């Protein structure tokens, strides 16, 4: 029986779309086929392109000023990036153009080689990008350490801010970040007040604009903060400072095109490689971040989680990025930009996040933004020349400062990589981008080698039992000290070896194994443990040999693998995984002696093996045949008595004396894949569990009701005094599939009479009077998942109808929770508090993340809070971070999905 129950479906009925009258809409139905492959423009794409265009123009001019490049080059690269990379790239919603990450690199190249040679270098970098994309090497670029990537971008941000500060003060930047920092006091002494005041005004508007309160604030915030700040500064400068330095767009007739590069070949090759490295990393990592941002929007929540995402039910879902195609598209755009005399192009987060949040559905928004930039470059020259340079410099300076992300600093510090991060920043600021990356890689390698070599080994005697604690990684470098420490122990004595690390190489493994063999041969017992329950460098087969006390299911495949070798020589050596926080010390172990007893030789040979099982020296012995039926039951019971019972005997004895005092009633499905103790990290005495087909709660007095569920609820609430009740549904529920496929003429079997208690859930999903239950971060996969979610909410309503539950809820002594568990993803979702409490405010199931009891939110990319849009590339994407509070006007924080009417 799969899920709850497996019933054959009518594939014809299932494949046909639901009728409009049913009120059901497939959340992720495939888009209708396009006829003739024509380029279609949706209304949402048109409005999004205008929003991005209004951000791109001032940003492109500001970056051109920062690079000391021709101002029209910034517009050219913005137009080429939008049109070419938009059409040919692998990330439909990513907007490419001149980026802050390439500012320092390009400025240095222009100063050394001149503008025309820099264009040729851009062409060379683009050709290499096309080559690497054709070789499918894009994923390899994501293997760079996150500390190095963020350190490089932070160093570039510092260099940008220092250079632009000179322009804000009315001067000109120098050749390097160090020179700019040293020259600041002199620049402050000779600056006039006009430019600094205009720059300060620009920064103030940038900071305040997204935070304007009230209805008027929500209306004006539709205008991008970058455009608003530059427009206000331009208007003020036109009145108060008419003589301030402004944008000067020369005639297109004098525009310089590339020439053949002149200079040392090695230096030119280094320059090409530097542009390639920075542009490719920024584009690829930003593409992955845009994927996360798009997924967050699909769940009905924008990046800032305070603005309802525009809902476009008819729009096709945006596919994940094709990184190799994206790299080729960026390469073609760079080649064309260089040929036309434009700046290097890469993908960026400021424009991309604005594009996603504005409701773009495909490439049309990106391409149209490039078209608008191209038209502005030809038709709005007079208006652009009114913009003060100090305003553009202030805009870019803010972007530079925000490239130094405190979230990234906390992250690398938590992973003990701050030294690599700091070394990379220092190298980029003092020596340059490529040199800084090289320094970061060197420091990262040195840190890794130091961690491998830094192993602490201590030996203590505790009442005749020796405890050997190994902190760090066990490699061949630690073998001499390990051998010396183990050699100090008396032969034939009992010992506990605590391994606190995550790697053990072959040399260290053999050293430990040979010593263990000698100890057990002379009558001693050896127990290997990990500080937090894990084992180090274990083979897959040995991983099943012993488990945490509350998860004995983990070793159930040990008895079912035909041909698995058995090594009876290792029977006296036991690997034990203690629960988190428990340490094996003398007199405190489950058996009272500080160690787990080794099993019997005839039993351990089949299941526990030694730590050698699955390594290069497999044991001798016959294959274990696959056991089924009674043999499997007996084998499982034997394994429990051997491996788990010694660890839990004391706890179960305490529960037998004191009686059960569970704090939760857990109502869930009878599906065999739903292991309640595993997904809730609970043990004996924690949960009072009721399992039935479909996790149904019949309302009191229902026709053909089931008193067993009501009796369990009454007993748990009135006698056991539980503090909470959880109704848990799961993915792929067979009961929900049966409800979807069975009509009113279903046979009156016991199964169908029971499933009738789920009909209110089906009616709830189809009703126009109830908001759809949904998952935060994504839409339900299909109608069955939608029904599984609605069923949890409906059963909570049935639960509140029980007299004992209603009474305890009124007293404030009971809480109700809704939960959804996706089996294939091993991911739990909790129903929002409002819906659980019965207030009907929200019916959203929020994802529960690792180490985050308050539920993780989708990654947040805002216009200026993360200009790189990279998040944390440790997972090749972005780190989940808490987002802003929900908009009071939208209590759910995610907007309502549009429903079809009957």
The catalytic residue positions are: 669, 671, 673, 730, 733
Scanning 466-535, the segments in alpha helix (DSSP H) are 479-487, 506-521
CB 180 within 8 A of CB 163: yes
Record the tokens describing residue 817, joined without a space.
Answer: 């929770």
Phi and psi at residue 721, to the nearest 5°: 60, 50
Say whether 160 sits in a helix, a strand or coil.
helix
Q: What is the DSSP letter of 849?
A: B
Any alpha helices (H) in 135-193, and if so which ranges? 138-141, 146-168, 177-189
Those residues whose C-beta lies under 8 Å from the C-beta of residue 488, and which sit 6 or more positions away, are 459
Biggest distance spanned by C-alpha atoms of the chain: 95
What is the H or E stretch that residue 201 is in?
helix 194-208
What is the C-alpha to C-alpha distance for residues 237 and 246, in angstroms, rounded to an integer? 10
Six-digit token pair at 406? 């405190």
**In this structure, what are the phi and psi dihedrals at residue 575, rounded to the nearest 5 degrees?**
-100, 120
**Separation CA 456–CA 446 (nearest Å):** 19
CA 439 to chain centre: 28
**Rounded Cα–Cα distance for residues 95 and 50 (Å):** 13
Distance from first CA to last CA of the chain, Å, rounded? 35
CB atoms within 10 A of CB 840: 12
- Exposure string for 437-472, b = 16+ CB within 10 A, e = fewer: bebbbebbeebeeeebeebebeeeeeeebbbbbbeb
Distance CA 72, CA 409 (A): 36
Q: Could you tell me the two tokens for 850?
A: 């690792």
Cα separation, 832 vs 890, in Å, equals 14
At 108, phi and psi to the nearest 5?
Answer: -70, -40
One DSSP character per residue, 125-136 reads: HHHHHHHHHHTT
At residue 134's C-alpha, the angle toward residues 129 and 135, to 5°, is 100
**Cα angle at 184 between 182 and 189, to 5 degrees?**
130
* Cα-to-chain-centroid distance, residue 575: 33
- Dihedral of CA 62/68/71/77: which sign? negative
Report the SS3 class of residue 541: coil
* DSSP calls for 221-275: TTS-HHHHHHHHHHHHHHHH-TTS-B-----GGG--------S-HHHHHHHHHHH
Question: Under a CB-based contact definition with an 8 Å cutoff, are residues 201 and 232 in contact?
Answer: yes
Strands 774-775 and 664-669: unpaired
Query: Coil, strand, or helix at residue 528?
Result: strand
What is the DSSP code (8-state) at residue 640? Answer: I
Q: 737-740: long-range contacts (C-beta < 8 A, 24 or more apart)?
A: 737/3, 737/6, 737/7, 737/9, 737/784, 738/4, 738/5, 738/7, 739/787, 740/783, 740/784, 740/787
CA angle, 257 then 262 then 265, to 5°: 130
Chain position carrying tokens 């996706």: 822
- Per the CB < 8 A criterion, the answer to whether 469 and 500 are in contact is yes
Structure tokens given for 436: 């800084």
């Amino acid at each position: 029986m799969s899920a709850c129950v497996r019933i054959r479906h009518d594939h014809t009925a299932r494949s046909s779309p639901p009728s409009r009258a049913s009120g059901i809409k497939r959340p992720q139905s495939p888009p209708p086929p396009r006829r003739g492959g024509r380029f279609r423009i949706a209304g949402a794409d048109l409005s999004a392109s205008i929003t991005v265009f209004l951000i791109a123009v001032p940003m492109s001019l500001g970056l051109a000023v920062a690079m000391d490049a021709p101002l029209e080059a910034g517009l050219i690269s913005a137009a080429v990036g939008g049109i070419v990379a938009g059409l040919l790239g692998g990330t439909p919603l990513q907007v490419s153009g001149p980026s802050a990450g390439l500012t320092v690199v390009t400025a240095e190249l222009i100063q050394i080689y001149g503008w025309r040679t820099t264009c040729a270098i851009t062409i060379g970098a683009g050709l290499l990008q096309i080559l690497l994309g054709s070789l499918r090497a894009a994923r390899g670029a994501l293997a760079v350490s996150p500390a190095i990537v963020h350190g490089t971008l932070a160093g570039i941000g510092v260099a940008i801010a220092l250079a632009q500060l000179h322009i804000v003060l009315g001067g000109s930047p120098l050749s390097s970040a160090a020179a700019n920092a040293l020259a600041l006091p002199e620049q402050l002494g000779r600056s006039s007040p006009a430019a600094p005041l205009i720059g300060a005004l620009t920064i103030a508007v940038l900071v305040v604009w997204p935070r304007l309160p009230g209805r008027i604030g929500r209306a004006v915030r539709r205008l991008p903060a970058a455009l608003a700040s530059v427009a206000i500064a331009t208007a003020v400068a036109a009145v108060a400072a008419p003589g301030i330095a402004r944008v000067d767009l020369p005639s297109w007739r004098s525009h310089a095109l590339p020439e053949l590069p002149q200079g040392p070949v090695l230096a030119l090759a280094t320059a090409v490689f530097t542009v390639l490295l920075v542009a490719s990393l920024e584009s690829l990592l930003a593409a992955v971040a845009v994927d996360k941002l798009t997924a967050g929007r699909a769940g009905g929540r924008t990046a800032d989680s305070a603005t309802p995402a525009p809902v476009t039910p008819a729009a096709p879902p945006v596919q994940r990025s094709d990184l190799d195609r994206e790299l080729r598209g960026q390469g073609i755009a760079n080649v064309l930009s260089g040929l036309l005399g434009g700046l290097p192009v890469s993908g960026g987060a400021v424009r991309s996040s604005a594009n996603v949040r504005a409701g773009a559905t495909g490439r049309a928004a990106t391409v149209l933004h490039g078209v608008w930039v191209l038209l502005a470059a030809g038709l709005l020259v007079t208006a652009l020349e009114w913009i003060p340079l100090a305003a553009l410099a202030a805009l870019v300076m803010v972007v530079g400062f925000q490239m130094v992300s405190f979230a990234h600093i906390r992250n690398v510090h938590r992973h003990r990589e701050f030294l690599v991060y700091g070394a990379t920043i220092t190298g980029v600021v003092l020596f340059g981008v490529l040199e800084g990356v090289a320094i970061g890689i060197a420091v990262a390698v040195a840190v890794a080698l130091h961690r491998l070599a830094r192993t602490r080994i201590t030996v203590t005697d505790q009442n005749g039992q020796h405890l050997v604690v190994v902190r760090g990684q066990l490699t061949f470098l630690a073998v001499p000290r390990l051998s010396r420490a183990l050699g100090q122990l008396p032969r034939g004595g009992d010992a506990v070896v605590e391994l606190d690390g995550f790697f053990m190489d072959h040399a260290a493994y053999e050293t430990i194994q040979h010593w263990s063999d000698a100890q057990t041969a002379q009558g001693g017992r050896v127990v290997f443990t990990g500080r937090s329950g894990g084992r180090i460098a274990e083979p897959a087969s040995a991983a099943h040999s012993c488990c945490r006390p509350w998860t004995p299911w983990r070793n159930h495949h040990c008895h079912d693998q035909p041909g698995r070798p058995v090594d009876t020589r290792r029977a006296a050596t036991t690997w034990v995984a203690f629960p988190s926080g428990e340490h094996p010390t003398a007199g405190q172990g489950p058996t009272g002696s500080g160690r787990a007893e080794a099993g019997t030789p005839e039993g351990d040979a089949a299941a526990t093996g030694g730590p050698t099982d699955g390594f290069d020296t497999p044991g001798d012995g016959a294959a274990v045949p696959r056991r089924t039926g009674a043999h499997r039951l007996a084998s499982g019971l034997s394994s429990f008595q051997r491996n788990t019972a010694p660890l839990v005997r004391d706890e179960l004895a305490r529960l037998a004396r004191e009686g059960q005092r569970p704090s939760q009633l857990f109502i869930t499905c009878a599906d065999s894949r739903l292991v309640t103790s595993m997904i809730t990290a609970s043990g004996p005495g924690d949960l009072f569990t009721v399992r039935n087909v479909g996790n149904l709660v019949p309302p009191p007095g229902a026709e053909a009701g089931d008193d067993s569920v009501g009796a369990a609820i009454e007993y748990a609430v009135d006698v056991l005094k539980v503090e909470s009740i959880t109704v848990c549904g799961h993915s792929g529920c067979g009961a929900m599939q049966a409800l979807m496929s069975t009509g009113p003429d279903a046979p009156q079997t016991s199964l169908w009479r029971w499933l009738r208690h789920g009909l209110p859930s089906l009616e709830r999903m189809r009703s126009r009077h109830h908001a759809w239950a949904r998952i935060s971060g994504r839409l339900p996969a299909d109608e069955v998942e939608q029904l599984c979610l609605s069923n949890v909410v409906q059963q909570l309503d049935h639960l509140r109808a029980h007299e004992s539950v209603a009474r305890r809820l009124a007293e404030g002594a009971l809480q109700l929770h809704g939960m959804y568990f996706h089996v294939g993803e091993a991911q739990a979702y909790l129903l929002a508090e409002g819906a659980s409490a019965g207030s009907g405010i929200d019916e959203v199931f929020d994802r529960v993340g690792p180490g985050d009891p308050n539920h993780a939110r989708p990654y947040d990319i805002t216009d200026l809070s993360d200009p790189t849009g990279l998040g944390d590339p440790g997972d090749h994407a972005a780190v989940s971070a808490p987002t802003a509070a929900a908009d009071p006007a939208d209590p759910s924080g995610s907007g309502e999905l549009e429903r079809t009417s009957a």
